[in-house]
Structure 1
Amino acid sequence: MSFTLPLPPVFAGENYYIWVVKMKIYLQAQDLWSVVKNDFEPPPLRANPIIAQMRQHAEESTKKHKALVCLQNGVTDVIFTRIMACSTPKEVWERLKENFMGSDKTRQQQVINLGRDFENLKMKESESIRQYSNRIMATVNSTRLLGEDFSDSRVVEKVITILPERFESKISSLEDSRDLTTISLSELVNSLYALEQRRANRQEEHPEGAFQAKAKDGPDIQFRSCKQFGHVEKVCKNKAKAPAQQQIQAQAAEDLQAQ
């Protein structure tokens, strides 16, 4: 089946790292990446070439111009003015890298800063597992776009070691059932997300349990009828006693007045 490539991705001056990844794949799909990376030139034809050799040489010779067209059409007119003097696709690629990625020293400093951010990422108590994993992957993908290798196993290890105590039972269960060094991040997140959903459903089905759990976190809550702390009216064990005590006090007051 024939496959027609779409137009090349266009770089307008922002998100250079994303454009680089897309453009590299685009050039590879057209068998043009080698002339960009290595500034490839086909060897000259030998004497008395056959027609097939002449055709192949012509195709190899035009690859440089095809790659140059792809790169020129892959930028806006404002960016094109920076590369229009470049005569080879490799020169264009390096010029854009120099203008928008910075020096190797600058890039390495960015990688170090992102690595520090990754190590300092912690899950908040109010945060869901998917929200936390999204924050982690934002940092990881930024690092990868800078050309730095970042393995999935390192991300999984980070998630497992930094999870709050409420996930401890699930992690222990996963450790018993399989090797966590081979588990994917998506599989781990989905397992923990399923645990979160089950707990949320149980709280909806048994709201009294949710009130009691809240009371543990807020012992300063006082139920005004029984004057005790740590719970509310819905789960008060003494709420039936309060009206009886009030009745006794009221009857005593009436007897006193009659006397």
Structure 2
Amino acid sequence: MESTHQFIAINKPLKLDVEHYGHWKVNMQQVIQGIDLEAWIAVEEGWTHPIISDDDGKETLKPKKSWSAEEKLEANFNAKALSAIFTSLPRNQFTRVQGCTSAKEAWDILKVIFEGTSNVKRTWIDMLEYEFESLTMGAGESVYDFSSKMSSICQEAIVLGKNYKDKKLVKKFLRSLRARF
């Protein structure tokens, strides 16, 4: 019987930094997709423990020994995604999701904690928009540093669902350049 093993090498451990949730979210999505695309699907669509019904119609959890190959595979994808999420959390954040049995459940809890409801999300977008509008190039700042700051704000906004049009970015960039440029 031939056995194959897959190994994923991650150079440095990814840990959630509460001040940079957007960064963690995007990286974590790629880590999970790198493990297996089906693992990411488990995060997006969810996984539930297989259930069986008895003659009376009462539903109970299906014993793992009687799972089909497909059910085992889906459970494995969920386990890989959940493991990746768990290992990326500092202890104080892990306690918030430690009882989760599905990767989607853990992902959604973290999303609500850090992105909030739609009202909180709108507030974060408004704050980023204000930061974008008030951004100016410092006297000793290089073009590269300024464009990095501007790009960082735009990428955080994208994670929250706001996209800046290229025209607006170019106008902002050109208006913000110092006279010497």
Q: Distance in 1 between matches of 2:47 and 2:152?
A: 36
User: Does the aligned pair in 2 maintain the 1:68–1:89 contact within 8 Å?
Assistant: yes
Kindly report which structure 2 residues correspond to 1:88-127, keeping only aligned pairs within 5 A, or say none.
Answer: 88-127=102-141
User: Would you say 1:15 and 2:20 are equivalent positions?
Assistant: yes
After superposition, the C-alpha distances for 1:136-188 in whole angstroms (9 at most, x for unaligned) are: 22322332343422344532232124434444xxxxxxxxxxxxxxxxxxxxx
CA RMSD of aligned residues (A): 3.1
Instruction: Specify the alignment match of 1:39 in structure 2.
Output: 46
* Residue of structure 2 aligned with 1:5, choices 8, 12, 27: 8
Instruction: Specify the alignment match of 1:25 in structure 2.
Output: 30
Instruction: Specify the alignment match of 1:143 in structure 2.
Output: 157
CA 126–9 in structure 1, closer or farther in 2 if over 3 Å, else same = closer
With the length of structure 2 as denominator, give the TM-score of the two structures: 0.69
1:91 to partner: Cα distance: 0.9
Count of residues paired in the alignment = 157
Instruction: Specify the alignment match of 2:177 in structure 1.
Output: 163
Counterpart residue type for residue 93 of structure 1? W
1:61 to partner: Cα distance: 3.7
1:132 to partner: Cα distance: 2.6
Q: Which structure 2 segments of 5+ residues have no match? A: 52-67
Kindly report which structure 2 residues correspond to 1:51-62, keeping only aligned pairs within 5 A, or say none.
Answer: 55-56=69-70, 58-62=72-76
User: Does the aligned pair in 2 maintain the 1:140–1:150 contact within 8 Å?
Assistant: yes
Q: Distance in 1 between matches of 2:168 and 2:138?
A: 20
User: Does the aligned pair in 2 maintain the 1:42–1:60 contact within 8 Å?
Assistant: no
1:131 to partner: Cα distance: 3.4
After superposition, the C-alpha distances for 1:186-242 in whole angstroms (9 at most, x for unaligned) are: xxxxxxxxxxxxxxxxxxxxxxxxxxxxxxxxxxxxxxxxxxxxxxxxxxxxxxxxx
User: Does the aligned pair in 1 maintain the 2:29–2:40 contact within 8 Å?
Assistant: yes
1:126 to partner: Cα distance: 4.5
CA 125–40 in structure 1, closer or farther in 2 if over 3 Å, else same = same
Q: Distance in 2 between matches of 1:12 and 1:137?
A: 20
1:124 to partner: Cα distance: 4.4
* Residue of structure 1 aligned with 2:145, choices 128, 131, 144: 131
CA 81–56 in structure 1, closer or farther in 2 if over 3 Å, else same = same
1:118 to partner: Cα distance: 1.5
Q: Distance in 2 between matches of 1:124 and 1:116?
A: 17
1:42 to partner: Cα distance: 10
1:34 to partner: Cα distance: 1.0
Q: Distance in 1 between matches of 2:141 and 2:112?
A: 39
Larger radius of gyration: 1
Q: Which structure 1 segments of 5+ residues have no match? A: 45-53, 168-259
User: Does the aligned pair in 2 maintain the 1:64–1:88 contact within 8 Å?
Assistant: yes
CA 9–147 in structure 1, closer or farther in 2 if over 3 Å, else same = farther
After superposition, the C-alpha distances for 1:108-142 in whole angstroms (9 at most, x for unaligned) are: 11211221221232334544323332332232233
| SS state at 1:66 partner | helix
- Identity over aligned pairs, percent: 26
User: Does the aligned pair in 2 maintain the 1:123–1:163 contact within 8 Å?
Assistant: yes
CA 38–165 in structure 1, closer or farther in 2 if over 3 Å, else same = same
| SS state at 2:136 partner | coil
With the length of structure 1 as denominator, give the TM-score of the two structures: 0.51
Q: Report 1 or 2 for greater relative contact order, CA contacts < 8 Å, sequence distance ≥ 6.
A: 2
